[in-house]
Amino acid sequence: MSFSKSLEYGGHALVWSGDWTPEGARKAISGAARAGYDYIEIALLDPWKVDVVLTKDLLQEFNLRAHASLGLSAGTDVTSTNLAIVAKGDELLRKATDVLYAIGGTELCGVIYCALGKYPGPASKENRSNSVAAMQRLADYAADKGINIDLEVVNRYETNIMNTGLEGLAFLDEVNRPNAYLHLDTYHMNIEEDGMETSVLAAKDRLGYVHIGESHRGYLGTGNVNFDSFFNALKKINYQGPITFESFSSEVVDPNLSNTLCVWRNLWHDSDDLATKALLFMKERY
């Protein structure tokens, strides 16, 4: 079964903190709450290092919810033809699901169906079928914990499995699980899509999660993403689900994710100003 979603606004933890130490977690959660967000999106790249009790206490202290995202690496790539690597990927995804469940979250999103990075060639039929099977296993495991999985469509330099929303929907057809949804990100759509509406309108109620990011991943409205078109499409399908503001700058660095995403430029330095203006920007349009 699928699990209910509601319209809510969140901020990615890397807007405030590059780590999830006690200090980093407090900075991120308090920052998201101060800016007026409903939830924070935590990057569970290494869920074994997350202090679940501390995180739950902080979320309760600041009256905030949490969802989670991650991207797989070469050593956990579930598209791999090496079964040991696939098993490592399964293990990581299950652990992330366990942590998300423990902190009360219901949405696991991101590039959870392959490694996050540039592949040397197209995906083979075996790569794709391995990915589909892994998502079926993950969806079933997550369903037992009341969690939806949201598969993020990203650009050609970060996956060879699906680069447009329409490709993502075809992949979801193969996964064929009621708690598996499409996850669209305006930053990636701006690179790959023929406009900002087509995939949203095609997805309808299969769109389960949204990332709002500018073309340069800085302040919203200062790049070239057509946000009006995107939010108009959300209105047409009456989207009801999480909307996360995602922005990266060399001001706040996670050594692994920042390098993977090629975050070299300092696009902002004031997290609070950035996050507050982003929430206003989104709510003015939706």
Distance between CA atoms of residues 193 and 166, nearest Å: 9
**CB contact at 8 A, 40 and 105:** no
Going by their DSSP bridges, the two strands 65-72 and 148-152 should be labelled as unpaired
**CB contact at 8 A, 162 and 183:** no
Alpha helices per DSSP H over the chain: 22-35, 52-61, 83-102, 125-143, 165-175, 186-192, 198-203, 227-236, 255-260, 271-285
The total of other beta-carbon atoms located within 10 Å of residue 139's CB is: 22
Q: Which of the residues are catalytic?
A: 152, 246
**CB contact at 8 A, 133 and 114:** no
